[in-house]
Amino acid sequence: MQILVTGGAGFIGSHLCERLLAEGHDVVCVDNFFTGDKENIRHLLANPRFELLRHDVTLPLFVEVDQIYNLACPASPVHYQFDPVQTTKTSVHGAINMLGLAKRLKARVLQASTSEVYGDAQIHPQPESYWGNVNPIGPRSCYDEGKRCAETLFFDYHRQCGVEIKVVRIFNTYGPRMSVNDGRVVSNFIVQALRGGDVTVFGDGSQSRSFQYVDDLVEGLRLMMATPAEFTGPVNIGNPGEFTMLELAETVLRLTGSKSKLVFRPLPEDDPKQRRPDISLARARLGGWEPRVPLEEGLVRTIAYFREKLSS
């Protein structure tokens, strides 16, 4: 098939492009390189079945494809808060443009949504039926509400226009090709530890997250795209193993052998206190999908990537 991946030069997008090419598909990778990096897909450029387009999804795109993975959007607070208006536009206008393209082509389209649609959740773990507890006017709202609106658009295009949609809610994901200045907790801790500086923990470190290795996510995305047309989701894709920030920081220090000290800073506004996916639906509907990579194994691979990145 001919498959379009928006945000294809990003951390997750580049792994997805690589997987699709390995399966024999032709891949059109679209990225405006706001957070994407050409280094992530440089090894794919010589592949005759890979095409790279520099393009912003807030503008219409005219290509001929069979499937669309819509991953384009800055995903860490440091990046999506840099230009919050553009972040909202990327989620909303990007969804409209990709849905319009899918409608014209009669193509199946997958939306990479986020666990952030649950906000500071009052139900734990979070099932897909939970509507969330999101601040619509806070500093994180450009991302949280942008993704929620994108989901609305996907389901309305499905109901009104018959577009074949798939919606996944991605929980915290980490792995090689994360940016050094990504701003998310795993990369922050690893980079700070490898550089020997203080490791910054926000709050008292008791807030919890679930961490999914990127290979497990890509497998989930592929399986979701292949489900029967009537199954739209949304589906949580994440690892239900739950760790506090303090546990994560101490694990990173141990695995890196770093002598860095932990320092504590005030918790950012609207930062969720806990986040863990209920993946019962994914287990039932995604052909036996299950997170395979334990946290320590994934961290060892990610630390090796950043060690090489920082030394080059």
Tell me how far apart the alpha carbons of residues 5 and 185 are, in angstroms, rounded to a whole number. Answer: 26
Looking only at the bridges linking them, the beta strands covering 108-114 and 2-6 are unpaired
Q: Are 189 and 248 in contact (CB under 8 A)?
A: yes
Residues forming beta bridges with residue 242, ordered by sequence position: 210
How far is residue 297's CA from residue 210's CA, in Å, rounded to a whole number? 15
Q: Which residues are catalytic?
A: 143
